[in-house]
């Protein structure tokens, strides 16, 4: 148990430090099975190894040794039986280990469906997809069962095969012993002793054979956990030297693709941000807005180009340094189970009540938090599901504002807010002292007062102020006019 406790600890630690790219590759449910089911199976394996496996060889070889002392000729039967048994046991083990690995993968895939259908149950019901979901699970469950049946058939051969070998050996032993007693070479007692050594071996090997089935499962799980532990943290490319262009943040010819083979999402993006500027990022859905701010936060590494903060290549900053400087509100913010206060304390551990109220106030969250019975000590359920979408967004903004950072990134943080609340929030944020604020939005209304606006289109960036883009950029004009006409928003 102590071993598995340490193993879990290491695996958990590893997961915390995986890069986002590695995280995407391993998948959430895959990582969860490694920490739960796989660990149980390893614990079982280690436990049985310590209790049974280490004892068996002593009994088997001890009994063989004693049999030789009784009568070397009859004990020759043991010499034939033991290697044969070992071949059978290890042969079956070799065949079943890879199959058990496949079984674990099938378990992971069934788990993924289960997880998705439970977390997404509202959507699935709203779309009447229950039946399809049941069928999909049926298919995966069927695959799993077939794999288990096939492997089970091979494992099931183990007992009959070992019993057959041992019982044949016993028969030969008694026949041989009887002849030697007849010839007056050994006593009847010696045959009884030899037979009892043989049964000891039998009992031990049957136990061992059953153990092997558990052990092969356990090995498969151990392999998966070992793969996770062997994953090296993604190496950052070698940093470029410092450069002093006077800009606070500089994107220098940055390109990015999610997979090395894929079409780049962002192509040759270059821009600079002076200290104290507010930057708006706009573009159609999927145009790479979130990707752009993720790069700045160091969540992914650009495939080409450099990003500098105060003249320092961010590749030369440690994750802690970056995390310390940047306050980030994700597009889909995660609220954790706890209280409003504990969620905000993620931004700053020693945040006092004053800090928290100030941040909630700026994020326009104070009213609804105060309306709750326990104020800032109100309970937040898992995923913040006892709050509305817009309330969750405001809690996430407050969490970022509590943090002492000098760069603030709001990735579509007001998409669920009404225009009035959105504008109040932007006003309050503008009054705060940040060296740079990035606002990602779909609405031109939310970014028109920014010092610079980056319009993303087909991976390329057009940069300018609201007035400049309105005059020179057809796409921006289209976006703005469509919203202006529909929403009747003041320019």
Residues between 387 and 446 that touch ligand ATP (CB under 6 A) = 412
CB of 288 to Mg ion, least distance (A): 8
Which one of Mg ion, ligand ATP, none is in contact with 137 (Cβ closer than 5 to 8 A by kind)?
none
Q: Are 413 and 393 in contact (CB under 8 A)?
A: yes
Among 214, 255, 272, 331, binds Mg ion (CB under 5 A): 331
Does an H or E element contain 482, and which?
helix 474-487
Question: Nearest CA to 232 among 22, 35, 8?
Answer: 22
CB of 444 to Mg ion, least distance (A): 16
Q: What stretches of 120-242 show up as alpha helix (H) in DSSP? A: 121-126, 130-156, 158-182, 188-230
Closer residue to ligand ATP, CB minimum distance, 213 or 413: 413
CB of 262 to ligand ATP, least distance (A): 7
DSSP string, 412-433: STTTTS-HHHHHHHHHHHHTS-
290 binding Mg ion? (CB under 5 A): yes
| x/- letters, 253..292, toward ligand ATP (CB under 6 A) | -----x------x-----------------x-xxxxxxx-
Closer residue to ligand ATP, CB minimum distance, 38 or 412: 412
Closer residue to ligand ATP, CB minimum distance, 131 or 259: 259
CB of 289 to ligand ATP, least distance (A): 3
Residues between 9 and 68 that touch ligand ATP (CB under 6 A) = 24
Task: Work out the angle at residue 40's Cα, subtended by the Cα atoms of residues 381 and 133, and round it to the nearest 5 degrees.
Answer: 55
Q: How far is it, in rounded angstroms, from Cα 360 to Cα 382?
A: 20
Which one of Mg ion, ligand ATP, none is in contact with 24 (Cβ closer than 5 to 8 A by kind)?
ligand ATP
Q: Are 439 and 279 in contact (CB under 8 A)?
A: yes
Which one of ligand ATP, Mg ion, none is in contact with 96 (Cβ closer than 5 to 8 A by kind)?
none
Q: What are phi and psi of 257, to 5 degrees?
A: -130, 145
Structure tokens at 326: 């940047």
CB of 293 to ligand ATP, least distance (A): 8
DSSP-derived letter for residue 282 is: E
| Spacing of C-alpha 373 from chain mean position | 36
- Which residues sit opposite 379 in a β-bridge? 339
Closer residue to ligand ATP, CB minimum distance, 71 or 330: 330
Which one of ligand ATP, Mg ion, none is in contact with 390 (Cβ closer than 5 to 8 A by kind)?
none
Which one of ligand ATP, Mg ion, none is in contact with 47 (Cβ closer than 5 to 8 A by kind)?
none
Q: How many angstroms separate the Cα of 365 from the Cα of each of 32, 393, 413? A: 33, 9, 13
Closer residue to Mg ion, CB minimum distance, 205 or 266: 266
Instruction: Give, rounded to a whole angstrom, the gap between the first and last alpha carbons of the chain.
Output: 65
CB of 417 to ligand ATP, least distance (A): 16
Q: How many angstroms separate the Cα of 77 from the Cα of each of 90, 184, 362, 490? A: 20, 19, 86, 98
Residues between 337 and 396 that touch Mg ion (CB under 5 A) = none
Question: Nearest CA to 365 among 373, 374, 376?
Answer: 376
The helix/strand/coil state of 402 is: helix
CB of 263 to ligand ATP, least distance (A): 9
CB of 130 to ligand ATP, least distance (A): 28
Window contacting Mg ion (CB under 5 A); options: 65-73, 243-251, 284-292, 306-314: 284-292
Residue number, nearest CB to Mg ion: 290
Question: Nearest CA to 362 among 394, 323, 325?
Answer: 394
| Cβ-based neighbour number of residue 132 at 10 Å | 12
CB of 441 to ligand ATP, least distance (A): 9
Which one of Mg ion, ligand ATP, none is in contact with 258 (Cβ closer than 5 to 8 A by kind)?
ligand ATP
Closer residue to Mg ion, CB minimum distance, 272 or 331: 331
Q: Which residues bind ligand ATP (CB under 6 A)?
A: 24, 258, 265, 283, 285-291, 331, 412
């Amino acid at each position: 148990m102590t071993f598995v406790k340490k193993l879990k600890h290491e695996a958990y630690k590893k997961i915390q430090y995986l890069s986002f790219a590695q995280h995407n590759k391993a998948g959430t449910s895959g990582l969860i099975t490694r920490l739960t089911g796989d660990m149980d199976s390893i614990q079982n394996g280690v436990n049985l190894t310590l209790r049974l496996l280490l004892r068996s060889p002593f009994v088997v070889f001890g009994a063989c040794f004693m049999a030789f002392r009784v009568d070397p000729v009859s004990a020759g039967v043991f010499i034939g039986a033991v290697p044969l048994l070992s071949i059978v046991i290890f042969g079956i083990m070799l065949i079943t280990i890879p199959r058990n690995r496949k079984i674990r993968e099938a378990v992971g895939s069934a788990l993924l469906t289960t997880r998705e259908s439970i977390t997404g149950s509202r959507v699935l019901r709203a779309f009447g997809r229950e039946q399809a979901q049941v069928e999909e699970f049926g298919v995966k469950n069927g695959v799993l069962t077939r794999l288990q049946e096939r492997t089970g058939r091979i494992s099931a051969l183990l007992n009959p095969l070992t019993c057959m070998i041992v019982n044949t050996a016993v028969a030969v032993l008694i026949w041989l012993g009887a002849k030697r007693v007849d010839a007056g070479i050994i006593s009847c007692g010696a045959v009884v002793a030899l037979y009892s050594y043989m049964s000891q071996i039998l009992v031990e090997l049957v136990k061992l054979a059953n153990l092997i089935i558990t052990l092969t499962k356990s090995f498969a799980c151990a392999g998966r956990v070992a793969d996770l532990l062997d994953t090296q943290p993604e190496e950052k490319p070698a940093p470029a030297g410092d450069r002093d262009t006077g800009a606070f943040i500089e994107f220098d010819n940055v390109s990015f693709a999610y997979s090395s083979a894929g079409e780049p999402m962002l192509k040759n993006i270059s821009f600079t941000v002076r200290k104290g500027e507010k930057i708006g990022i706009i573009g159609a859905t999927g145009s790479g807005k979130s990707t752009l701010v993720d790069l700045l936060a160091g969540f992914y590494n650009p495939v080409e180009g450099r990003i500098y903060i105060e003249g320092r290549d961010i590749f030369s900053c440690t994750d802690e340094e970056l995390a310390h400087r940047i306050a980030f509100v994700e597009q889909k913010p995660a609220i954790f189970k706890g209280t409003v206060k504990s969620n905000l304390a993620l931004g700053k551990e020693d945040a006092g009540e004053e800090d928290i109220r100030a941040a909630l106030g700026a994020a326009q969250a104070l009213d609804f938090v105060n309306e709750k019975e326990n104020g800032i000590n109100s309970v937040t359920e898992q995923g913040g599901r006892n709050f509305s979408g817009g309330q969750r967004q405001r809690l996430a903004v407050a969490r970022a504002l509590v943090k002492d950072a000098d760069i603030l990134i709001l990735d579509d943080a007001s998409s669920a807010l009404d225009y009035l609340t959105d504008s109040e929030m932007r006003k309050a944020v503008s009054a705060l002292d940040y060296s740079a604020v990035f606002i990602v939005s779909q609405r031109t209304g939310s970014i028109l007062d920014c010092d610079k606006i980056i319009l993303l289109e087909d991976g390329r960036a057009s940069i300018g102020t609201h007035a400049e883009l309105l005059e020179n950029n057809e796409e921006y004009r289209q976006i703005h006019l469509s919203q202006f006409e529909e929403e009747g928003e003041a320019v």
